[in-house]
């Protein structure tokens, strides 16, 4: 990867506070979080930046079918995620520092990012 390159991995906000019903899922996503940090290490051969996005529920047609009674205003739209990633790719100065875990938070239909602190 070139120096301006960006690798985005998909973690999960749910893995930050795992529960007994999601042990396998949380384990897998925690591994993604750890891999993000490892690949961003100064000694990593990666060459560019790596960040992980941590969504909660993504607003997809399938999720709407499965969870018909949910509050969709708290779901992150796919288009918003796509626009965010496009900006990070085209404007390297706009992206979080390499190794960041970036929680995607949506409330009342408004989406934003929050950097997760270790």
Number of domains in the chain: 1
Kindly report the CA angle at 46 between 17 and 33, in degrees rounded to 5? 5
**Residue 95 has which token pair?**
């992206």
Q: Is residue 50 included in any domain, yes or no? A: yes
| Residue 32 to residue 96: CA distance in whole angstroms | 17
Which residues make beta-bridge pairs with 50?
A: 7
Q: Is 25 a catalytic residue?
A: yes
Which residues make beta-bridge pairs with 9?
A: 52
Q: What global pTM score does this model have?
A: 0.90
pLDDT tens per residue across all 118 residues of the chain: 788 899 999 999 888 887 788 889 889 999 999 999 999 998 888 888 999 999 999 999 999 999 999 999 999 999 999 999 999 999 999 999 999 999 999 999 999 999 998 6
Q: Is residue 1 included in any domain, yes or no? A: no
We report the CATH number of the domain holding residue 37 as 3.40.50.720
Domain hosting 20: range is 6-115
Catalytic option among 8, 16, 25, 80: 25
């Amino acid at each position: 990867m070139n120096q301006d390159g960006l690798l985005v991995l998909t973690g999960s906000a749910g893995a930050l506070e795992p529960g007994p019903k999601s042990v396998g899922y949380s384990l897998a996503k925690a591994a993604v979080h750890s891999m993000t940090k490892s690949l961003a290490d100064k000694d990593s051969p990666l060459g560019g930046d790596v960040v992980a996005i941590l969504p909660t529920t993504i607003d997809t047609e399938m999720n709407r079918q499965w969870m018909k009674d949910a509050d969709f205003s708290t779901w992150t739209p796919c288009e918003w995620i796509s626009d965010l990633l496009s900006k990070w790719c085209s404007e390297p100065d706009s992206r979080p520092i390499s190794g960041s875990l970036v929680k995607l938070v949506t409330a009342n239909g408004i989406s934003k990012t929050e950097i997760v602190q270790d």
